[in-house]
């Protein structure tokens, strides 16, 4: 017993000693100390961390997992989007800078990205086509150059270690993903194919970052694990923005896309199967073998190659259908105005990595934690909620109990929309900068933009970068209206330098999934293992909470940003999402709160 106690004490001391050498800042914030302690003390191999933006969670998690890293242990980080990798590179750059000053070892972080992001032959004009079929699009000599370099390094120092050392030498303060990819494409002499160089680096890499497809797609995950020679028992896995995993749907395909695919290559067994199911009620198990899918994929590639050689730069809808069907074996198909794939059991989504040494699910949008852990099949996971002290002072959260402020589907009317306009106008008058107004869908976005008389409105298939630049150029405070599941909500930042230009985000109606036959059918199926109440809550309230928090995140991009979150839908009172929300009876009470808040921050 004493031996075990001493060992535990030694591990504790070693962890904190290593952490003091690794942590890139002079002091731990209270929030960072809480995160690090939770990782160090975790009794379950799965840990869910709900930490607000501005809490310093990336630096805390990275320092903690490096401090507890054992010999030959691999660390694998998954992000939803490439842009989210920058935070990890930024914090590792600070760690490396400190280690250089103290003559300690520096770290490498190998980014596994899609070929289109590193191929030197890819241009703006052929990126979409290359993304679909890859190398066959070009008569490429880079593969040969890479293999010549690989032969050169086969004796003695391996190519894998060479690439890793080049990356680690390059990671320092201010270096993000783009700079590392530029290094691989331009700076390493005679490397040939940068993508093959990244794959080679995986062999000896003990710190790798990649995106969700390499976690969720079995074929890509197998490529990753094989190249890294993964032993899950000696691997720590971090999933950033993990709230994105808590959804049942796994892909959509429009009827029009299927029609265009048929026009490309004519009849095919896969097309005929989908056509038979088009519009049919129920949950359908797809009976399609790998040979049929391979044939569909090859037909799409050949079509695209032929079109490309003829000078056309369009994508292949045959390949879009093929991509849609890739995960058919783990999903049900529904057909209600479009084809949708739903996971047969969302609780199995993490099964492939549950045996890892430690799995850390990280998000700023994980409330209520119990619901997320249940949905993801890890109900017994350790859980921690970390509220940012500074963010609590720099942000005010207002909700309403006004009975007329709700976007309940069957209660929508002209009178209701006019009441929303009046309320939003009152609020905007006291908001000092730009205001983002999110509505449940594109249709309501158009309605609200018209009522609020603003030219800044997101529409389908809009060049979003140009739109955002127009907002930035606006010298007067602007009202920007957008759908809750549009492009702006999914990660577009309206910033100048490091500062957010958004002073307030208004949720004009909770973004519940639109009612549909497909949704009712999958809720009925999920009720078999969750029960009616939980299945309904998870596929409605949980989805609305995730979408809403993504929208609200467009305002706070750093701990120094100041602004307000305003939820104009009285149904928010049923949802445990905002621990520091102030409920107001009407818009006049909200205006009073906002005036006081902005005056306090000298922004009125």
558 pLDDT above the threshold of 70: no
* Ranges assigned E (strand) in 87-229: 110-112, 207-211
Task: Show Cβ contacts of residue 469 under 8 Å, excluding neighbours closer than 6 positions.
Answer: none
Split at pLDDT 50, 70, 90, the class of 344 is: very high
Nearest to 52 by CA among 390, 496, 547: 390
274 pLDDT above the threshold of 70: yes
Instruction: Provide the 3-class DSSP secondary structure of residue 547.
Output: helix
CB of 297 within 8 A of CB of 322?
A: yes
How far is the C-alpha of 75 from the C-alpha of 65, rounded, in Å? Answer: 8
2 pLDDT above the threshold of 60: no
Split at pLDDT 50, 70, 90, the class of 454 is: very high
What is the DSSP code (8-state) at residue 268? -
pLDDT tens per residue, range 288-336? 999 999 999 999 999 999 999 999 989 999 999 999 999 899 999 999 9
pLDDT tens per residue, range 514-539? 888 999 999 999 999 999 999 999 99
| Mean pLDDT in residue range 446-469 | 90
pLDDT tens per residue, range 361-390? 999 888 888 999 999 999 999 999 998 776
551 pLDDT above the threshold of 50: yes
Which pair of structure tokens corresponds to residue 56? 């310093």
Task: Show Cβ contacts of residue 120 under 8 Å, excluding neighbours closer than 6 positions.
Answer: 142, 185, 194
The predicted structure's pLDDT at residue 118: 87
Q: Given strand 563-567, what is the order of strands in its sheet?
A: 479-483, 434-439, 502-507, 563-567, 395-400, 582-584
Backbone region of residue 438 per phi and psi (left: phi > 0; alpha: psi in -120 to 50; beta: other values) = beta
Half-sphere exposure of residue 144: CA atoms within 13 angstroms, side-chain side: 3
Higher pLDDT, 167 or 6: 167
450 pLDDT above the threshold of 80: yes
Which pair of structure tokens corresponds to residue 102? 């103290």
How far is the C-alpha of 515 from the C-alpha of 40, rounded, in Å? Answer: 43
Q: What angle, rounded to 10 degrees, do the helices at 414-430 and 442-451 form? A: 60
pLDDT tens per residue, range 216-248? 999 899 999 999 999 999 999 999 999 989 988
The predicted structure's pLDDT at residue 192: 76
281 pLDDT above the threshold of 80: yes
Would the pTM of this model clear 0.85, i.e. be above it? yes
157 pLDDT above the threshold of 60: no
| Mean pLDDT in residue range 184-199 | 79
The predicted structure's pLDDT at residue 34: 94
End-to-end CA distance of the chain: 63
Split at pLDDT 50, 70, 90, the class of 155 is: very low
| Mean pLDDT in residue range 80-91 | 90
Mean pLDDT across the chain, nearest whole number? 89
All structural domains of the chain with their residue ranges: 249-344, 389-600
54 pLDDT above the threshold of 70: yes
What whole-number percentage of the chain has pLDDT above 90?
59
Split at pLDDT 50, 70, 90, the class of 156 is: very low
DSSP states of 360-390? EEEES---SHHHHHHHTT-TT-EEEEE--HH
| Mean pLDDT in residue range 536-562 | 85
**CATH of region 249-344, choose from 3.90.1150.150, 1.20.1090.10, 3.30.365.10, 1.10.275.30:** 1.10.275.30
CA 431 to chain centre: 29
How far is the C-alpha of 89 from the C-alpha of 71, rounded, in Å? Answer: 22
576 pLDDT above the threshold of 90: no
55 pLDDT above the threshold of 90: no
The predicted structure's pLDDT at residue 252: 93
The predicted structure's pLDDT at residue 66: 94
Split at pLDDT 50, 70, 90, the class of 194 is: confident
Nearest to 122 by CA among 137, 107, 112: 137
The predicted structure's pLDDT at residue 56: 87
CB of 551 within 8 A of CB of 493?
A: no
**CATH of region 389-600, choose from 3.30.365.10, 3.20.20.140, 3.40.50.12280, 3.40.50.300:** 3.40.50.300
pLDDT tens per residue, range 467-517? 888 888 888 899 999 999 888 887 677 877 767 889 999 999 999 988 889
């Amino acid at each position: 017993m004493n031996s075990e106690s001493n060992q535990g004490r030694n591990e504790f001391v070693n962890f904190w000693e290593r952490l003091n050498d690794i942590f890139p800042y002079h002091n731990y914030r209270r929030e960072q100390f809480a995160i690090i302690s939770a990782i160090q003390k975790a009794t379950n191999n799965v840990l869910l961390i709900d930490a607000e933006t501005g809490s310093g969670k990336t630096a805390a998690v990275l320092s903690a997992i490096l401090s507890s890293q054992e010999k030959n242990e691999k660390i694998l980080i998954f992000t939803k989007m490439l842009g989210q990798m920058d935070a990890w590179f930024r914090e590792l750059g600070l760690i490396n800078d400190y280690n250089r000053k103290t003559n300690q070892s520096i770290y490498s972080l190998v980014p596994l990205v899609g070929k289109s992001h590193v191929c030197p032959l890819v241009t703006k004009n052929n990126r979409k086509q290359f993304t679909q079929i890859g190398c066959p699009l070009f008569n490429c000599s880079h593969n040969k150059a890479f293999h010549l370099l690989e032969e050169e390094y086969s004796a003695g120092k391996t190519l894998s270690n060479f690439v890793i050392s080049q990356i680690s030498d390059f990671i320092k303060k201010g270096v993000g993903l783009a700079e590392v990819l530029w290094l691989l494409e331009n700076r390493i002499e005679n490397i040939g194919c940068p993508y093959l160089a990244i794959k080679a680096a995986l062999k000896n890499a003990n710190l790798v970052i990649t995106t969700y497809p390499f976690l969720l797609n079995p074929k890509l995950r197998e490529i990753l694990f094989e190249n890294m020679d993964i032993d899950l028992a000696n691997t720590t896995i971090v999933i950033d923005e993990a709230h994105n995993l808590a959804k049942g749907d796994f892909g959509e395909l429009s009827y029009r896309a299927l029609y265009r695919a048929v026009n490309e290559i004519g009849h095919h067994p896969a097309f005929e199967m989908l056509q038979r199911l088009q519009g049919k009620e129920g949950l359908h198990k797809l009976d399609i073998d790998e040979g049929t899918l391979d044939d569909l994929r090859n037909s799409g590639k050949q079509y695209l190659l032929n079109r490309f050689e003829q000078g056309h730069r369009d994508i292949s809808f045959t390949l879009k259908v093929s991509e849609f069907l890739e995960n058919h074996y783990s999903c049900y198909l529904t057909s209600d105005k479009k084809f949708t794939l739903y996971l047969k059991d969302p609780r199995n989504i993490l099964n492939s990595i549950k045996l890892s040494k430690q799995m850390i699910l990280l998000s700023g949008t994980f409330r209520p934690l119990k619901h997320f852990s249940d949905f993801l099949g890890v109900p017994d996971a350790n859980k921690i909620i970390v509220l940012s002290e500074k963010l609590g002072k720099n942000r005010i959260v207002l909700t309403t109990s006004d009975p007329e402020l709700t976007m309940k589907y069957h209660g929508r009317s002209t009178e209701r929309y006019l009441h929303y306009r009046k309320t939003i106008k009152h609020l905007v008058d006291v908001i000092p900068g730009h205001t983002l107004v999110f509505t449940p869908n594109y249709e309501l976005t158009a309605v609200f933009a018209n009522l609020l008389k603003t030219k800044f409105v997101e529409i389908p298939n809009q060049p979003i970068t140009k739109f955002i630049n127009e907002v930035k150029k606006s010298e007067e405070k602007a009202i920007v209206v957008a759908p809750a599941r549009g492009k702006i909500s999914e990660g577009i930042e309206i910033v100048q330098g490091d500062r957010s230009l958004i002073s307030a985000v208004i949720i004009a109606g909770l973004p519940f999934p639109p009612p549909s036959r497909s949704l009712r059918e999958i809720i009925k199926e999920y009720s078999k293992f969750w029960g009616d109440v939980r299945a309904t809550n998870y596929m409605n309230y949980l989805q609305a909470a995730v979408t809403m928090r993504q929208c609200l995140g467009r305002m706070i991009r750093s701990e120094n940003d100041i602004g307000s979150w305003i939820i104009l839908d009285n149904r928010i009172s049923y949802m445990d999402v905002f621990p520091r929300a102030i409920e107001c009876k009407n818009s006049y009470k909200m205006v009073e709160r906002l005036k006081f808040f902005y005056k306090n921050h000298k922004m009125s």
